[in-house]
């Protein structure tokens, strides 16, 4: 895979929340410009921005995806988990997910490349969590994860939000942070 660069893409700077800057999701960062971040790797560069990585830039498994500013979504490199209950067996389980931060109005599920990507991840037991801001998300389980071999999209009304310190259950666990 050839080396990828952000170029003029700054979608992560808009879609992701940045706690250190009190910047909510889906809001342009005050340091964002047409040339990228005005404080990149300098004083004032938030730690959460330094830790965040774009999966499209760094992962071979995204080779058939277009650049995030062209698709309207960014894929987080750091995995997370969702807790799910199998209504047939009653068993609870944690399922690894890829967080996908989605621009308002964009629909990754309509994009063939994204569906193929999600299907490849599902074969490894990984689902998608489409985030439409800090408080709204849908979980996506491709056919490889479902006994009926159909796509399943679980909406906000069917999910209970976990309260976390970092915004990520796995990171909370690594830091030893409590969560509800």
Domains in the chain: boundaries = 11-175
- The pTM of the full predicted model, rounded to 2 decimals, is 0.83
Q: How is residue 162 written in tokens? A: 């976990």
pLDDT attached to residue 2: 65
Render pLDDT for 83-112 as a digit per residue (tens, 0 to 9). 887 778 888 888 999 999 999 999 999 999
Query: Is the pLDDT score of 57 beyond 70?
Result: yes
| More confident position, 164 or 75 | 75
| More confident position, 171 or 145 | 145
Query: Is the pLDDT score of 158 beyond 80?
Result: no
Q: Which residues contact 128 (CB under 8 A, 6 or more apart)?
A: 97, 98, 100, 108, 118, 121, 139, 140, 142
**97 and 126 in contact (C-beta within 8 Å)?**
yes
**154 and 164 in contact (C-beta within 8 Å)?**
no
Instruction: Residue count of the chain, please give it.
Output: 180
Q: Which residues contact 43 (CB under 8 A, 6 or more apart)?
A: none
Render pLDDT for 105-114 as a digit per residue (tens, 0 to 9). 999 999 999 9
Within a 10 A sphere around the Cβ of 19, how many other Cβ atoms?
A: 12
Query: Is the pLDDT score of 39 beyond 70?
Result: yes
The CA distance from 158 to 123, in Å, is 24
Q: How is residue 160 written in tokens? A: 């209970």
């Amino acid at each position: 895979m050839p080396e990828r660069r952000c170029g003029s893409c700054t979608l992560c700077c808009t879609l992701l929340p940045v706690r250190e800057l009190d910047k909510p999701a889906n809001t342009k960062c005050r340091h964002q410009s047409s040339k990228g971040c005005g404080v990149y790797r300098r004083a004032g560069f938030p730690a959460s921005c330094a830790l965040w990585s774009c999966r499209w830039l760094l992962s071979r498994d995204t080779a058939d995806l277009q650049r995030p500013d062209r698709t309207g979504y960014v894929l987080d490199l750091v995995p997370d988990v969702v807790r799910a209950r199998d209504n047939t067996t009653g068993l609870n389980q944690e399922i690894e997910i890829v967080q996908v931060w989605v621009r308002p109005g964009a629909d990754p599920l309509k994009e063939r490349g994204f569906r193929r990507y999600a299907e490849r991840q599902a074969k490894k037991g990984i689902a998608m969590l489409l985030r439409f801001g800090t408080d709204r998300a849908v979980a996506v389980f491709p056919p490889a994860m479902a006994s009926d071999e159909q796509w399943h999209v679980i909406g906000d009304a069917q999910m209970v939000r976990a309260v976390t310190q970092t915004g990520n259950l796995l990171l909370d666990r690594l830091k030893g942070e409590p969560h509800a």
